[in-house]
Amino acid sequence: MSYRGRLTTFLVMLAAVIGLAVYVVDTYFLPQSGVTDFTSAQPAGAPVNLTVQTFGQIGFGPHPTWVSYMVQAPDGQWQHNTTWKVPAHTTIHMTVHQYDSGSPLRNQQWGRVQGVAGNVEVLNGTPISEYDSNSGNGVGHTFAIPTLGINVPLVGVDSSASNICSSAPCNSSSVSNTITFTFTTPGPGEYPWQCFVPCGLGYLFGNGGPMSNANFMGGFLDVVQ
């Protein structure tokens, strides 16, 4: 190959690498434009009630078969946003309605509840500190904020149930598990959260597709003063 040909090939490859790097940073490491604001939903200093649901497939949009989250905005509407603006140094009462089936975790460490009040989640009314994902219906997802040391396993529903949710937002007619827990926000900053189970099965390192895209299985706590 001539020098000109080699140079052209190099420049094309370089542009592809730069483009991929920009895409990864923009879609995963930076907060996205869709933000659900909880900073004015209650008096200053009062706890924030943050309710989300997660399911096996979103049912709409460019990736209808992807697993995803939705959040209930303060006005009661469900939004497909995974960046949530919350006040600093504030108690967050979080409720997760988990509609997806489960499987064994790749690392049983993710079955331990950590970083939340008492290191305990309440699963359908029963407090637990650890869940064995090799038993029962396994774990559907985990809610984790690594920089805050938070990890909460979201136990899966029975995959053979006849009323699995097929399109979001889901409702009480579909089989689900309800998980609640409490944590306190730190000082202002952007704190990424994500899922650490095989939602990205079939992608390189298990971290592609919905696992590496905001508004699906990862997002940010936008903590403000």
pLDDT cut 90: percent of the chain above it: 59
Q: What is the mean pLDDT of residues 131-141?
A: 91
Question: Residue 8 above 70 pLDDT?
Answer: no
What is the side-by-side order of every strand in the sheet holding 78-79?
A: 78-79, 68-72, 48-55, 91-98, 177-184, 121-123, 126-128
Distances (CA, A) of 28 to 32, 137, 211: 9, 29, 9
Measured CA to CA, the distance from residue 136 to residue 141 in angstroms comes to: 14
Average pLDDT, the chain: 85
Q: What is the percent of the chain with per-residue pLDDT over 70, rounded to a whole number?
A: 80
Specify the pLDDT at position 10: 55
Query: At the topology level of CATH, where does 34-224 sit?
Result: Immunoglobulin-like (2.60.40)
* 38: pLDDT strictly greater than 50: yes
Domain ranges in the chain are 1-30, 34-224
Q: 191, 220, 215: which is closest to 81 by C-alpha?
A: 215
Q: Is the predicted pLDDT of residue 17 greater than 70, yes or no?
A: no
According to the per-residue pLDDT averaged within each range, which of 7-11, 183-187, 213-217 is highest?
183-187
Q: What residues does 48 pair with on adjacent strands?
A: 92
| pLDDT over threshold 80, residue 2 | no
74-88 pLDDT, tens digit per residue, is 999 999 999 999 999
Please say whether the beta carbons of 110 and 144 come within 8 A. yes
Asked whether 86 and 31 are in contact (CB, 8 A), the reply is no
Using the structure block, give the residue that is written with the tokens 């895209």: 213
